[in-house]
Amino acid sequence: MKNLRSTLLIFVVAALGFGALQALIVAEILDDYTLQILCVAGINVLMALSLNLISGFTGQLALGHAGFMAVGAYTTGVLLVQAHWLLFPALVAGGLMTALFGLLIGIPTLRLRGDYLAIVTLGFGEIIRVAINNFDEILRWAFNSPDMVGWTGGPTGLSGIPGYATNIMVNNPAAFLWIYPIVVLSVVLVMNLIRSSHGRALVAIREDEISAQAMGINLFGMKLTSFTISAFLAGLGGALYAPFIGYLSPPGFDFLRSVFFVIIVVLGGMGSITGTVIAGIGLTFLQEFLRTSAKDAGNGLVVLIQQNLFPSTISAGAWSVDLVPLSQVLFGLILILLMIFRPGGLMGTRELPLTRWLTTPWWRKKESLP
């Protein structure tokens, strides 16, 4: 019953938030560029959520989620471009195909101890990329028709993916209409999953595998289920991504992308859904900020230093610092510092007690449990 209440409350809050954002969009206070970043944030949150399920809640570190995103994105993209499917079935297909991949990859590898799983998932992430690059060639060889039009486009990429709206300039608001509800639904799904007995089994596995096994939990079965669901959600994220960005190419789904999702999960708190949401949105905006403004800010600072401390070098030219690697450096530092000083991330394993806040009347003081 409590679950139902929480779920309904989340829907209400989400709907209100949605309404507010839509109003901002229509009134054009929220411009298209910010909306773009917001949509990317939504997809990142979904991806991080899927990773949190397997890594945060089940304790199995997976380093290849960019590969799952690629599978979902390309499946949907190919279906939209080559087979002219409608949007909704294509999205679902993207998620399902990735779930299948998750199942296939999970069966042999989830028996492995945690460290090995991390490396193997990393390897699969890389292999999926190589496979996409060579997919068309393999197709041509399999069908024995060297002139066949490829499906994935290989290294040239898959372009011209139809967007959420036929008019490309309003693709972002239309994309938002899809991304936001799906992310909310996924959050609700994961939340309910975690609160069920199934979810408690996952947490038990994370805390101590041997004890969990001793308590009768089917270790492999549970891990596999968690991994498959995680793959489905990741595939869904990729599927949403394809019509949003309109163009896919294999280098975009590299290890750096997988690591970005790991950072979101770690920063938010491995085992906290709210943390993932907050960190996902925050880091997406931070990354965009670093792309656009950090360079000017950094160079401004460097020139300032040069002008004041080393004025004799000015004639040779202004120094400039290449700052986009800064985002990567920052992410590396964030990981290290978090793990040493605050391994729980922002939220640890706690969630925002939304239900309690919204259902406890204001005159009732916070109850302290015995």
Partner 1 sequence: MDIVSLFFQQLINGLSKGGIYALIALGYTMVYGIIKLINFAHGDILMVGAYIAYFVFAAWGFTPGSIFVAVLFAVAGSVLLGISIEATCYRPMRSAPRINALITAIGVSIFLENFPRLIPAIGPNYRDLTVPKLFETIHIGEVSIDPLKLLTLVVSLVLMTLLILIVDYSKAGKAMRAVSFDMGASALMGISVNRTVSFTFALGSALAGIGGVLYMLNFPLLDTYMGIMPGLKAFVAAVLGGIGSIPGAILGGLRLGIAEALTAGFISSKVMDFVVFGFLILILLLKPSGLLGVHRKEKV
Partner 2 sequence: MKKFASLAMALIALTGFASAQTIKIGTIQPLTGAIAVYGKNVTNAVQLAVDEVNAAGGINGKKVELIVEDDSYKPDNTVAAFKKLATKDKVIAIVGALTSNCTLAITSLAQGAQIPLITPTSTNDKVTTAGNYIFQACYKDSFQGKVVANFATSTLKAKNVGILFDNANDYSKGLKTNFEATFTASGGKVSSESYATGDKDFNAQIAKIKASKPDALFLPDYYNAVSLLAKQIRAAGITVPLLGADGWDDAVGTDNADLVGAYYSNHFAKESASSVAKSYMTAYSAKYGNETDALAALGYDATKILLGAIAAADKAGKLTSPGVRDALAATKGSFVTGNISFDANRNTVKSAVIVQIGATDDKKLFTKFVATVNP
Binding site for partner 1 (CB under 8 A): 55, 59, 61, 63, 108-109, 111-116, 118-120, 122-124, 126-127, 130, 134, 210-211, 214, 255, 259, 262, 266, 270, 319, 321-323, 325-326, 328-329, 331-336, 339-340, 343
Q: Distance between CA atoms of 175 and 33, rounded to whole angstroms?
A: 13
366: left (phi over 0), alpha (psi -120 to 50) or beta: beta
CA distances, 330 to each of 40, 290, 319 (Å): 20, 10, 22
Asked whether position 319 contacts partner 2 by CB under 8 A, the answer is no
Helix axes 197-207, 171-195, angle to 10 degrees: 80
Q: Which is nearer to partner 2, 33 or 116 (CB)?
A: 33
Question: To 5 degrees, how large is the angle CA 269–CA 275–CA 279?
Answer: 100
Q: What CA–CA distance (Å, rounded) separates 354 from 351?
A: 8
Picked from partner 2, partner 1, none, the partner binding residue 343 (CB below 5 to 8 A depending on kind) is partner 1
Q: Select 120 or 239, whichever has its Cβ closest to partner 1.
A: 120
SS (H, E, C) 327-362: HHHHHHHHHHHHHHHCCCCCCCCCCCCHHHHHHCCC
- Residue 334 in contact with partner 2, rule: CB under 8 A: no
Q: How far is the CB of 38 from partner 2 (least distance, A)?
A: 12
Q: Name residues contacting partner 2, limited to 220-279 (CB under 8 A).
A: 245-247, 249-252
26 binds partner 2 (CB under 8 A): yes
Q: Contact 289/322 with Cβ under 8 angstroms?
A: no
119 binds, among partner 2, partner 1, none (CB under 5 to 8 A by kind): partner 1
Q: Indicate the residue among 209 and 288 with the shorter CB distance to partner 2.
A: 288
- Cα separation of 291 and 289, whole Å? 5
Q: What angle do CA 41, 125, 287 make, to 5 degrees?
A: 25
Binding segment (CB under 8 A) for partner 2, from list 49-57, 100-108, 215-223, 287-295: 287-295
Which one, 19 or 114, has the nearer CB to partner 1? 114
156 binding partner 2? (CB under 8 A): yes
Which residue lies nearer to partner 2 by CB, 181 or 252?
252
Q: Which is nearer to partner 1, 32 or 137 (CB)?
A: 137
Is 39 or 190 the residue whose CB approaches partner 2 more closely? 39
Q: How far is the CB of 194 from partner 1 (least distance, A)?
A: 18
User: Which among partner 2, partner 1, none contacts residue 160 (Cβ within 5 to 8 A by kind)?
Assistant: partner 2
Q: Who's near 308: CB < 8 A, 6+ residues apart?
A: none
Please check whether residue 26 is in contact with residue 170, taking contact to mean a CB–CB distance below 8 angstroms.
no
**Spatial contact of 49 and 279, defined as CB atoms under 8 Å apart:** no
Collapsing DSSP states into helix, strand and coil, what is residue 247? Answer: strand
Under a CB-based contact definition with an 8 Å cutoff, are residues 266 and 345 in contact? Answer: yes
By a kind-dependent CB cut-off of 5 to 8 A, residue 157 interacts, out of partner 2, partner 1, none, with partner 2
Alpha carbon 258 to its chain centroid, in Å, reads 9
Residues of the shown chain interacting with partner 2 in the complex, contacts defined by CB under 8 A:
25-26, 28, 31-33, 36-37, 40, 130, 133-134, 154-157, 159-160, 167-170, 172-173, 245-247, 249-252, 288, 291-292, 295, 317, 322-325
